[in-house]
Structure 1
Amino acid sequence: MATADPSNSSSAFAQLTNILLAKGGYESDEAWKFVEDLFKNIDGKVLSSSSSVYKSVADGEMVVGLSYEDPCVTLEKDGAPVNVVYPSEGTVYLPANAGIIKNAKHMDNAKKFIDYLQSQDCQDNLGLTTTNRPVLKDVQIGDIMKPISEIKTLKEDSEYVIAHKDDIVDHYKEIYTSISSEK
């Protein structure tokens, strides 16, 4: 199994918080025990980046990889020997963002661009031509994408995760160090 280091990879950190949330919560002893058992199962081996994870699965070096949807669906779409599987416990979809720089020189055009990004036409086009999830509900998506209605979703407590990121990473590092020292 392949995974990346949650202390260095934002997608691996998102995987970690997703696992914790799905298995009982960010502070749950049961959830952290699951994380420990998972990392023991992979023998404490962690890849350097999230791209290494999905590439190692596509190349046949690893059988399973914990990664994020977009590149994995792209690999599947491009014919790589992979199948995207969503956790039955549920998965978190983190928000997509677009913003305008304060006092932007062309504020009216910036607002028009944001309006365009949020339009049904733009979101349908993104849903049909990319492997990123559109932000609007009831948007068209390509056949390769599994409808969100068929995926159990969880709601990340973003405020908690942001406020406790260092604690979560430190707890992960303690587990990783403990497993590595047992070898």
Structure 2
Amino acid sequence: MARTILFNKPYGVLPQFTDERTGPPRPTLADFIDAPGVYPAGRLDADSEGLMVLTDDGRLQARIADPRFKLPKSYLVQVEGEPDEAALENLRRGVRLKDGLTRPAQAECIAAPDLWPRDPPIRMRLTVPDSWIRVTIAEGRNRQVRRMTAAVGHPTLRLVRWSVGEWQLGDIAPGTWRDAG
């Protein structure tokens, strides 16, 4: 029987079990997960937080990570400024990035979610307001959500992946995991 783990990756943790870079050691999945044989299904940048799915099932891992399967991934995104309907509509239609046009996304403004404090805290600018949006994409380019929000004039301050397909972060505390069941 395949094992699937849901992990709430904290900010600053590498989305892999080893750090190949020389220099001071950085935190990796190995610092939080002691479950032999499971591997990440997709990535989540070190400066992003939230849900990572790990599994020992290679077919499931490929289905989650491969954009051909169009598995939706939802993010709670704190951005600079207050996106208007035009900015949200640009996200919904697809945004032209250096590597081409993105697939259409779901995007909506949301109230500030009740999340754990980020360590370190995000930088706040006294003269620039911030707000939250929920963005759902069905592809996984490198730093895609961050690049999309920047392209519509609202750079990302904090990014928390909330769901991957049917799996949701729910009440999993940062740095902890549970079996998907």
Which TM-score tier does this pair reach, normalised by the shorter chain?
under 0.3
The answer to which structure has the higher strand fraction is 2
Higher helix share: 1
Instruction: Calculate the TM-score normalised by the size of structure 2.
Output: 0.27
Normalised by the length of structure 1, the TM-score is 0.27
The structure with more radius of gyration? 1
